[in-house]
Structure 1
C-alpha cells in the first residue's frame, strides 16, 4: 500500500512500543522514516528491526537544545518534513504528597516543553501541507488517582492540537492528537511496579476497560497513520481516542 508514499516523516520516541510500531506502519505505507530514542539498547534494537535505510537518532525529549539540533538534522536529511509524530513521553504515577519539584519539572520537560520547542524549531522545515500528530492520553480526561502530574502534562499537550492548529493552519500545518487508553508497551515497565504485583495491577487496569483488555501498539499506530495521511486532510485540531471504551467509565 502507499498511503504515505514518499512522505518524509519523523517519529520521536520511535525505538519501542507505539512509536516503533508506528514506524513499521509508516514504512509499509511507503514513507521515509527517521526515529528518535534515548535508550542505547532500544536504539540498537530499533535500528536492527527497521533496517539501515531508517535513520535512528539519540535525542532527549526533555532537552530543548537537543530538540533544536534534531530539527537541524531533519532539515539537512530531508530538506522538508511532511509528517511528525510526537510520541516521546514518560508516565509517572505517584501520590501527590510524594512529588518533588525536580520530578514535576522532569515530567513537564519530557512531555510538554521539549516537544513544544521541537515544533517551534521545525517550523522552517515543515512542508505545505504538513501533518503533526501528538500522542496524548485518555488521562487528560480521566481523573485517575496518582496520575495528577502525568494527566496535567497530557492535558496541556492535548490542548496544543487546537491552539497550534489555529495558529499554524495558514502555513498548511494541521495538528491532531491520538489519545490511547492503557496499551501493552514498555511504558508500563517504567512505572516502578514490583513484579510480584504486576499481574494484579494489570488485572485491575483491564477491569476498568469495557473491552476487557489492554490495547495493542498496532491499534494506536493505525489511528496515527490515518492522521498522518492525506485521508485526514479535513481533520484539524481533533482528537482520536483509542481506549477500548475506557472513557465510558469516566
Structure 2
C-alpha cells in the first residue's frame, strides 16, 4: 500500500519545479492532489502528466476569491483535506540600496501573506492529524547577497510553523517548514537575462554546496513526502533543510 493512499492534498504553485515534483510524488504514493497555478496551459500539462490522481484549479494565491474557489472545489470533490503544501513563491534578487517598493510588495504578498491565508482558509477542511508543509528556504536563516526581501519572507514562513504548531497542537495538525537550498528548477532561469547568466548562477551555487551540485526537485519532493506521511508522525514545528549541507556546515 502506498504511503498516502486515500489522502487528499493541495499543492499551490504545483505546475513546475519543486511544486510539480511534490504533486507527482504525492499522486504516486496514492493521494488525490489538487494543484493550483495561474496559467491554464501549465495546468493542462500538469493534468496530462499526472493523470487521474490530480485535479487542477486555476488561481492566484494572492487573491482571496481564488483561494475561496480552490477550497470550495476541494470540499465539493473530496469533502476534507489531509495535506497542504504552501509552495507558491517568487524570487527577484535585488541588493540592499536598490530594493524597489514593487518587488518588496510582490514578494511579501506571495511568499508571506499568501502562505498565511492559504493555510488559514485550508483549516476548516483539515482533518485532525493532518499535515501542513510550508515551503521556506535556507535563505530564511542564511545571508545571501541580493536576497534581502526574499530571505525576510522565508524567515516569516519559518516563524509561522513555530506559532501554528502551538496553536493547533490539540488537533494533532503538524505544521513544518521545508527549506530547500539551491534547486535546479526553471526559477533559476528567471534570475538572469541570458542562459549564460543563469548557468553562471548555477555554477556559483554549486561551488558553495558541500555535495558539489545543486539539488533536484525530486529530492525536495522526497522530503515533502516524509513530512506529509505517517513516517513523520512525531515531527512538528521543524525546519527540514534539503540543501546539500550548504547552510549546515
- Sort the Cα spacing of 1:102 and 1:197 in 2 relative to 1 into closer, same or farther, 3 A: closer
Pick which of 64-73 and 76-85 moved more: 64-73
Asked if the contact 2:18–2:220 (Cα under 8 Å) also holds between the matched residues in 1, the reply is yes
Deviation at residue 69 of structure 1 after TM alignment: 2.4
Deviation at residue 154 of structure 1 after TM alignment: 0.4
Counterpart Cα distance in 1 of 2:97 and 2:130: 42
Counterpart Cα distance in 2 of 1:188 and 1:2: 32
Report Cα offsets for 1:37-69 as digits up to 9, x if no partner: 112332121111011441111111222332232
Asked if the contact 1:64–1:113 (Cα under 8 Å) also holds between the matched residues in 2, the reply is no
| Correspondence 1:242 to 2:229 | no
Counterpart Cα distance in 2 of 1:242 and 1:199: 21
State the match for 1:221 in structure 2. 221
Structure 2 gap segments, 5+ residues each: none
Structure 1 gap segments, 5+ residues each: none
State the match for 1:145 in structure 2. 145
SS in 2 for 1:179: strand
Q: How many residues were matched structurally? A: 249
Question: Any residues of structure 2 matched to 1:12-161 within 5 Å, and which?
Answer: 12-161=12-161
Asked if the contact 2:82–2:131 (Cα under 8 Å) also holds between the matched residues in 1, the reply is yes
Report Cα offsets for 1:4-28 as digits up to 9, x if no partner: 1100111111111111111111111
Give the RMSD, CA atoms, in angstroms.
Answer: 1.4
State the match for 1:169 in structure 2. 169
Asked if the contact 2:84–2:122 (Cα under 8 Å) also holds between the matched residues in 1, the reply is no
Counterpart Cα distance in 1 of 2:227 and 2:181: 18
Normalising by structure 2, what TM-score? 0.95
State the match for 1:203 in structure 2. 203
Report Cα offsets for 1:84-124 as digits up to 9, x if no partner: 11111111111223322222111111111112112111221
